Amino acid sequence: METVTIDGLPIGDGYPPRIMSVLNMSEQSGYGPSVYLAPEEAARFVDEELVPAGADIVDVGLQSANPKYEAKPVEKELDRLEEVAPILDHIEADVPISLETRYAEVAEAAIGHGFDIINDVCGFADPDMKPTLEAHDMPVVKMASPPDLARPGALKTVDDLFEAIQRDGFTDRTIIDPAFGGWYDERTFEDNYELFRRLREFRAFGRPILTATNREDFLGALADKLTTADQLPVSLAAATMEVERGAHVIRTHDTDATADVVKVAHALGDRRVADPDPPAVVELPGTTVGEAARQAALGTVRTHSPQAALTRAFVVGDLTDTDVATLLETDPEAAVVERDDSLYIVGTTPQLDALAAAIDGASDRLSAVAERLRQATAREC
């Protein structure tokens, strides 16, 4: 895992998850409390509200990436940047300031003003973005997006998002953003749920991961909370799971509450802790078949297929005595623990597939068990 340092702040495995607080300096925003248009007023908000609440990074937006707004051209962003840049002179807190843009020309101007990181919502769609950032050794967030400056994030499937992140590669200081959200007609709530379930796959890039799900409708819909104002609890629930699944930066409008839940998730969850001395060994808890397949696809398989070596565990109940006896008579290589009313079965993918093949057809219930084992070993998440 690469560590990306932003103005002295390390991001990556072995460090606490960081909070990126949103500061919209544009009237284009679906969430009014994060909007501050005047530099002095915005700076006070950063110093008096965001940083004391737990902001590790502040992300300044010049226009919204929401598809309901028409994309502003580079000239408009440059003009707005000149109006916004004085915020850097007024902020007293020692906190890295990010500039969200899609244009290399705006990024270069922001670097000249003293911004600490670029948040590229179009994922290097501007062909000059990557070389500009490399020339200045500037940290960047690369969001999964098609090569289209007018339609950030307009992709549907996890495979589409993965390919977009991979397109054009990375700088040495790249953080990746899988691009949760309601991007145009291409993306449905179900697509976002699938991305959430498969978030761990993006660890295969070996880059720090940023997630931005705060007050998203696809989360609110799960709890019948369809207005932005009511979506804080679902956002906090998601943030804890994002940390557990590998996120290193959580982008939020709700700094105080999000910082609290992220601290708890980091302290009590599975931790990706790097050894302080070489050799570097970092455990990746909760590895999925899909993640192992991604790792294999991005590297060279030297021994056995990594996804075939992953173990899975199941509790199987409601079997007859005859079914249990039949299953055990197959002498499976997978481990089977018999309890009073259930079986605990654990094994690698090949072991479970062999067990499924052996019991399939022996009875209706054992055929159902075989099918569920095959589904589990074949699925992406």
What pLDDT is recorded for position 31?
59
What pLDDT is recorded for position 381?
45
Question: Do residues 238 and 360 both lie within one domain?
Answer: no
Residue 295 falls within a domain, yes or no?
Answer: no
Question: Do residues 209 and 341 both lie within one domain?
Answer: no
Query: Residue 353 CA to chain centroid, in angstroms?
Result: 31
Query: Residue 248 CA to chain centroid, in angstroms?
Result: 8
Residue 301 falls within a domain, yes or no?
Answer: no
Question: Do residues 253 and 333 both lie within one domain?
Answer: no
Residue 133 phi, psi dihedral angles, 5° rounding: -65, -40
Question: Do residues 211 and 331 both lie within one domain?
Answer: no
- The whole-angstrom separation of Cα 232 and Cα 54 is 17
Question: Do residues 93 and 39 both lie within one domain?
Answer: yes
Please give the structure tokens belonging to residue 62. 């010049």
Residue 293 falls within a domain, yes or no?
Answer: no
CB 169 within 8 A of CB 202: no
Its domain, for residue 323, covers 310-378
Please give the structure tokens belonging to residue 262. 């992220």
What pLDDT is recorded for position 283?
79
Q: Is 378 exposed, middle or buried (0-12, 13-18, 19+ CB in 10 A)?
A: exposed
Question: Do residues 235 and 357 both lie within one domain?
Answer: no
Question: Do residues 47 and 191 both lie within one domain?
Answer: yes
Question: Do residues 206 and 62 both lie within one domain?
Answer: yes
Which strands sit side by side in the sheet containing 174-177, from one edge to the other? 174-177, 140-143, 117-120, 97-101, 57-61, 18-24, 249-252, 210-211
Query: Residue 123 CA to chain centroid, in angstroms?
Result: 15
- The whole-angstrom separation of Cα 181 and Cα 204 is 22
Q: What is the mean pLDDT of each run of 10 residues along the chain (381 residues)?
A: 94 94 81 75 96 98 81 93 96 98 98 98 97 98 95 93 97 97 82 95 96 96 95 98 96 98 92 67 82 89 86 93 94 89 92 95 96 83 45
CB 64 within 8 A of CB 24: yes
Question: Do residues 339 and 207 both lie within one domain?
Answer: no
Question: Do residues 316 and 263 both lie within one domain?
Answer: no
Quick one: which of 49, 106, 56 has its CA closest to 83?
A: 106
Residue 302 falls within a domain, yes or no?
Answer: no
CATH of the domain at 135: 3.20.20.20
What pLDDT is recorded for position 273?
65
Residue 39 falls within a domain, yes or no?
Answer: yes
Q: Which helix (H) or strand (E) holds 20?
A: strand 18-24
CATH of the domain at 368: 3.30.70
Domain boundary among 268, 287, 322: 268
- The answer to whether the predicted template modeling score (pTM) of the entire model surpasses 0.85 is yes
- The whole-angstrom separation of Cα 214 and Cα 295 is 28
Instruction: State how many domains the chain has.
Output: 2
Alpha carbon dihedral 27, 32, 36, 41, in 10-degree steps, equals 150
Residue 292 falls within a domain, yes or no?
Answer: no
Domain boundary among 239, 268, 297: 268
Question: Do residues 228 and 123 both lie within one domain?
Answer: yes
What pLDDT is recorded for position 30?
59
Q: Which residue has the tokens 């009073």?
A: 340
What pLDDT is recorded for position 168?
96
